Amino acid sequence: MNYRYSENTIDSITRSHLVFIIAGVVFLLLPFAMPSEVKVGFLIGYSLLSLGIYAVALKKWRTEPGLWMLAVLLIVLLGAVYGFFAYDRYTSEWGLVNLPEEKRFFSKVVFLPLEVIVSFSICWTHIRFAYSVALSNWERTRSR
């Protein structure tokens, strides 16, 4: 299986950086606007905001020599930070302490797994994006 994005896909992700950043901020603010029994959005917001920031940071992937090192660093950092956030989000009650048990159960069984699945798919896009940029940039700039 080829995990590498095509150059057109890399360019479309870097062109869409503003959409990812705005959507990430909206999802980060979503838990504060929703009812107390539904606290969803932090992981998705973090993932979208990070993808937008990475797209800005790796925008000059065709011409900037050594950008592949930043892409590899971002892969490592994203995995560690996302793993910490997902673990912390899953193991903590995160504002659900005052809820009745049935609402707390519904939130942990329905909303939380859905948030983790969606945010992981965005995180997988991060990893493939940074991996593709790292390989493409290294191949383009190694002879300089």
- How do residues 18-61 score in pLDDT, each as one tens digit? 999 999 999 999 888 877 666 778 889 989 999 999 999 999 99
Sign of CA dihedral 52, 56, 61, 67: negative
The mean pLDDT of 96-123, rounded to a whole number, is 75
Q: Measuring CA to CA, which residue among 123, 129, 134 is closest to residue 3?
A: 129
Task: Say which amino acid occupies 16.
Answer: S
Lowest mean pLDDT among 29-33, 58-62, 71-75, 96-100: 96-100
Lowest mean pLDDT among 12-26, 45-59, 64-78, 94-108: 94-108
